[in-house]
Amino acid sequence: MSRTPSATPAPKRHTPTPKLGVRNTWQRTAVVEALRDIDKFVSARQIHDALEQRGEKVGLTTVYRTLQSLAQVEAVDVLQNKDGESLYRHCLTEHHHHHLMCTQCGRSEEIEGGPVEQWAQLVAQRYGYELVGHDAEVFGVCRTCQEERGNNA
């Protein structure tokens, strides 16, 4: 069965992501590209909505599964919001890092762990553990949101 070209132009494609994992499907690529375009921590539902707005039909279950598999190969950053919901963002760096996230707008910065890295190692050693990993995320209100809040007061 042959496919006829669509009358609408194809969506803009970014350079491929090397960490897509073993199954590089069009759905997986679409999810990664949506994450790149959004460029902040968002829920699976928000990614699904963004894909629908682009006209890309990817089921919500597929979005969840894709995000889980991308997290396993460390192609996305994952953190939990205050309600326990997983939020995802395209991973910008290859090395270990943490995040500073605005609780108002979702903007985030990748930050170095500095003293957190040493502290985690010391705590593990103190209790006789071998450190295999840790998570440390920092939440606050970014300057832009602070200014907007000040203007609305």
Binding-site residue set? 96, 102, 105, 117, 134, 142, 145
Residues annotated as binding site for Zn(2+)? Answer: 102, 105, 142, 145
Residues annotated as binding site for Fe cation? Answer: 96, 117, 134
CA atoms of 77 and 98, how far apart (whole Å): 9
DSSP state of 128: T
Q: Are 41 and 88 in contact (CB under 8 A)?
A: yes
Phi and psi dihedrals of 128, rounded to 5? 75, 25
The string of DSSP codes covering 61-109 is HHHHHHHHHHHHTTSEEEEE-TTS-EEEEE---SS--EEEEETTT--EE
